[in-house]
Amino acid sequence: MATPQPGIGDWYRLHGGSLFEVVAFDADDGTIEIQYFDGTVEEMDMEDWEAQWEEGALESAEAPEDWSGSVDVEGNDAEGRGSDSLNDDRDLRASPLDGIDLFE
């Protein structure tokens, strides 16, 4: 079986059960940056990637249902807005450009 080319965003599993995602691939340098489900980031050489595939120590995997294990996302930040009270206060503040006359 041919060794698959790592794809950014693809998930894989090491023989021991560690689930990880490919987050970067540099074909020129021959390096693959991977991030484990717990957030740990490592770099792997393409030679190591191929050797692990040949040994059967590496396999394709499905993305976990709860992918937030490697990302610090809180309930209020899920949509990138923060808490509602902060958004309400934003309307009460003056614009930093108020009072500036550009043509003086």
Instruction: Please report the pLDDT score of residue 96 as a whole number.
Output: 67
State if pTM tops 0.85.
no
pLDDT digits (tens, 9 = 90+) for 11-57: 999 887 889 999 999 989 999 999 998 889 999 999 999 999 999 89
Cα 17 from Cα 22, distance rounded (Å): 16
Walk me through the domains of the chain, giving residue ranges and CATH numbers: 1-65 (2.30.30.140)
Percent helix, strand and coil across the chain, each rounded to 5? 25, 25, 50
Whether the Cβ atoms of residue 3 and residue 55 lie closer than 8 Å to each other:
no
